[in-house]
Amino acid sequence: MTFDVRAFRNALGSFPTGVAVITTAASAEHHLGITVNSFTSVSLDPPLVLWCMDKKSDRYHAFTKANSYTVSILGTEHQEVSSRLAKQGSHSLDGIALRHTELGPPALSDALAIFECRAEAVHDAGDHAILIGRVLRFSRLDDGEPLVFFRGKYGSLAQAS
């Protein structure tokens, strides 16, 4: 029996996820970003989060070697930014509304939540790497609807009444 990678990926896409943009510094004056849907909490004490990155990404070394990064949780109004930063070679933050952070890498100015992280660990995981960050600071908005990714498409979360 052969393993159908495309069918496996489609089955994984049946699990709806939120969408985040991770930013880091490529240099002192230049920051870059990448869209991920693999963000999750790991631990409350110490405060740890993780996200995964494809080893074939043109941003792989910038993020796996980074000392810090910022996670911005996206709302439904961020679909264009998400699509742009998901593509190879489209990692510039030019034209995106950003806010400065104490740690350095900027956050999306109107993100639903922001986590400033010091890089804690990078683990090999097949064709991806698992990046674990220690959360040093965080904030969140009280309003906004999350951007959701499901079966290869963007959507929104239906709120129960």
Q: Which DSSP symbol is given to 76?
A: G
Strands (E), 28-103: 31-36, 40-43, 48-54, 68-73, 98-99
Across-strand partners of 71?
22, 115
User: Residue 104: which residues within 8 A CB-CB, separation 6 or more?
Assistant: 25, 68
Q: What is the mean pLDDT of each run of 10 residues along the chain (161 residues)?
A: 85 88 83 94 97 93 95 95 87 90 92 97 96 97 91 79 53
For position 90, what pLDDT does the model report? 67
User: Residue 76: which residues within 8 A CB-CB, separation 6 or more?
Assistant: 144, 145, 146, 147, 156
Q: Which DSSP symbol is given to 78?
A: G
- Which among 78, 31, 73, 30 is positioned nearest to 51, based on CA atoms? 73
Q: How far apart are CA 87 and CA 109, in angstroms?
A: 21
For position 138, what pLDDT does the model report? 97
Across-strand partners of 117?
69, 135
